[in-house]
Amino acid sequence: MKIDIQSFKEEFSKYAIISLIGYPIIFIILYILVDVFGINKSIAFFITYTISYIIIYFVQLKLIFKKSHSFKKSIKFLIHIGVFFLLVNLIFNGLIIIKIQYLIATALTIVILFPIRFLSYKFFVYR
């Protein structure tokens, strides 16, 4: 498999920029659900990430990887969501269990999975 470095850099840059825009929104929604509405941290995290994954599919499909929607891509995205949803929740809830503040736990979860998530999108979901 040959990798076009220029294309890779461009896609990664777009992914990083969109993530830098999207993650603060995740933090704001999470903060509102937990601190304003008093929703359990784990449930709020689940709700926030469910909404964000739906938006992410279409944004990445069109803006980052410039692909058209297909049944196969949506199935691969669902598989990706399943795997990463499990990873995200295991990491987040593990950090909560060891008494890491929930917004810090969210940030650590994002940082840990950021590069892995991009690579799985590029080489599995949108390939």
As a whole number of Å, the CA-based R_g of the chain is 15
Q: What is the mean pLDDT of residues 71-94?
A: 92
Please give the Cα distance from 24 to 62 (Å, whole number): 21
Tell me the HSE value of 9 on the side-chain side, using a 13 A CA sphere.
Answer: 3
Tell me the per-residue pLDDT of 25-68, one tens digit each, with 9 for 90 and over.
888 999 999 999 999 998 998 899 888 888 888 899 899 998 88
- Return mean pLDDT, the chain: 91
Percentage of the residues of the chain whose pLDDT score is greater than 70: 99
Please give the Cα distance from 61 to 127 (Å, whole number): 11
Sorted by sequence, the CB contacts under 8 Å of residue 114 that are 6+ apart come out as: 19
The sign of the torsion formed by the CA atoms of 62, 68, 70, 73 equals: negative
pLDDT of 127 higher than 80: yes
Task: pLDDT band for 1, please (50, 70, 90 cuts).
Answer: low
Query: In total, how many domains does the chain have?
Result: 1
Q: Which domain holds residue 65?
A: 5-125
Return the higher-pLDDT residue of 120 and 1. Answer: 120
Please give the Cα distance from 102 to 104 (Å, whole number): 5
Quick one: pLDDT at residue 49? 82
Q: Which two tokens stand for residue 79?
A: 């598989």
pLDDT of 19 higher than 70: yes
Please give the Cα distance from 33 to 13 (Å, whole number): 30
Q: Which two tokens stand for residue 46?
A: 């689940």
